[in-house]
Structure 1
Amino acid sequence: MFASVALGLISGILFAAYPLIDLEVARLFFDDRAAKFPLAITYEWNLVRRVANWIPFVLLAPALFVLLRKIVYPGSAMLIAPSVVVFLLASFVVGPGLTSNLLLKENWGRPRPNHVQQFAGAADFQPWWRPSGACTRNCSFVSGEASQAFWAVAPAMLAPPQVRPVAMGAAVVFGASVGAMRVVFGRHFVSDIVFAGLITIAIVMGFYRLLLDPLRRNDARLERAVERTSVALHKATGAALAGLGAALAHAGGSLRHTGQHLHKRIACL
């Protein structure tokens, strides 16, 4: 976690001091004659992109299934250790979900490469540290898809110790590869990818220390908490359905009374 923060500081200073790095790298993949990023419209590379985007969700699916099963059947034992389930789900929701896609992309204002003047767009180029660009939503900083891909570090950290470094290295390469595609497509700058990776990995490591550190880990207590939450959800759902049923019954009674009244009036005509 501290290594990610240190790398983040170094990267922030580097891209702030030399913001043209982003433009020069993006220029490598821009066709001046066609005024576009040509690989962005190729079927094959977009297919690779779609497949890559599904991989994090496939990795997350077992944890989500276990949690939903526990919610539906609160008394059943969780099929995966509760700390692992919460670690995977929480790091994904907070990392790629809230931090990258909701907090940063929707508020930072940095235009994408294919929207700036240097690449046939209309917006002014903005360095990563200036969040006041022309973009109003789904902006360039940071890359949501790269953030999702770098999240693969989370399941990699659960690999057996003897293969964990290889698994984590493969996850970082996967994240960098997905991020590279976004740069080649002209949809993100290099700094968008770098910060997406550093922020996501820092969040993953933070949750790992919080939930899976041997000194803090307590699966029994965590499963009881999940079970209590599930029971509370059942009670709240039951109360809501009972209230809805009562409201529908009242509405039905009112409609029946109104219908009988109309029938009497029509009979008197």
Structure 2
Amino acid sequence: MQQNFFTKKSLGVFNIVWILFITSSLLFVLFPQIDLYISSLFYYAKEGFSTNGTWYEKLLYDSVKPVVAIAAALPILIWFYNLASKKNLLHVNAKVVLYALLVLAIGPGIIVNDIFKEHWGRARPAQTVEFGGKLEFTPAFVISDQGGYSFSCGHAAGAFFLLSLALLAKRKKAFWITLASAYGIAISYIRIAAGGHYLSDTVVSFFIVFIVSLMLHHFIFKDKTYETS
């Protein structure tokens, strides 16, 4: 089937994904009030952010590290099992392990946490004047001297790491992609509702991890398509 411009790939990533990433990024930079408006939906002058400190906010927040650790460890354990037993459980081999570890290291690790979060200085919503804090609001992608760690969202990046594993599914791929996406969206929502991040922080983290996943999937496995059967 002939591909159009949007379904063609650049560096292993569908052009439509690049377009959506660039377009959404420009919107957040040119219209920063989008971030302020979305965060304001969860903020009350007396109570603060609606979900901050609730049991379900803490549950979801605390779930990310163990979930990511288990998700990263499973391919390694299965690979060793396959080597020892000379089986092919879930088709996990050295390439799968390399892919999973590289996605985690480059996406959530280097780009989100080491580059953006450590050097951009964006104040979290709850720290800004608009939401009862003392620091200034700055748009996404704009380097700030506020000393904050809002841009971009590390927890969302970790949660969306599961998407990279969903791309490896041989059966029911659409189901696993949907499940991984739902978890990432839930984590993103709870971080926004708790005043820990802006919408743009989570959207950028999603695109970074997704694009890194698609690029590495393409170059490591040399796949031309991403079947959803």
For the superposition of Structure 1 and Structure 2, which TM-score range results when normalised by the shorter chain? Answer: 0.7 to 0.9
Letter in 1 for 2:163: V
| Distance across 2 between alignment mates of 1:44 and 1:8 | 30
CA RMSD, Structure 1 to Structure 2 (Å): 2.3
Structure number with bigger Rg: 1
In structure 2, the residue matched to 1:16 is 29
**Residues 86-125 of structure 1 aligned to structure 2 (within 5 Å):** 86-125=98-137
Please name the residue that 2:3 is paired with.
Answer: none
Matches within 5 A, 1:97-246: 97-135=109-147, 139-161=149-171, 163-214=172-223
The answer to whether 1:63 aligns with 2:63 is no
Q: 2: CA distance between counterparts of 1:202 and 1:111?
A: 26
Aligned counterparts of 1:63 and 1:145: Cα–Cα separation in 2: 21
User: Shift in Å at residue 54 of structure 1?
Assistant: 2.3
CA displacement at 1:23 relative to structure 2: 0.7
Q: Deviations over 1:1-46 (max 9, x none)?
A: 2333211111012112211011111111112023x21421112321
Deviation of the 1:177 alpha carbon: 1.2
Counterpart position of 1:232: none
Alpha-carbon displacement from aligned partner over 1:92-111 (angstroms, at most 9, x marks no partner): 11111111111110001111
Give the aligned residue type for 1:40: N
**1:6 paired to 2:16:** no
Contact 1:63 1:89 in 2 (8 A): no
Is residue 2:35 matched to residue 1:37?
Answer: no
Tell me by how many angstroms 1:112 deviates. Answer: 0.5
Gaps of 5+ in 2: 1-12, 225-229
1:105 aligned counterpart, secondary structure: helix
User: Percent identity between the aligned chains?
Assistant: 26
Contact 2:217 2:223 in 1 (8 A): no
- CA deviations on 1:29-85 (whole Å, 9 max, x unpaired) are 112023x21421112321232124422222111224467x69xxx999797311101
Secondary structure at the residue paired with 1:40?
Answer: coil
Higher helix share: 1
Cα contact 1:95–1:200 (8 A) shared by 2:
yes
Q: Which residue of 2 aligns with 1:49?
A: 61
- When normalised by structure 1's length, the TM-score is 0.71
Matched pairs, number: 207
Q: Which runs of 4+ in 1 moved over 6 A?
A: 74-79
How far is the alpha carbon of 1:173 from its aligned partner?
2.0
Cα distance in 2 for residues equivalent to 1:57 and 1:152: 11
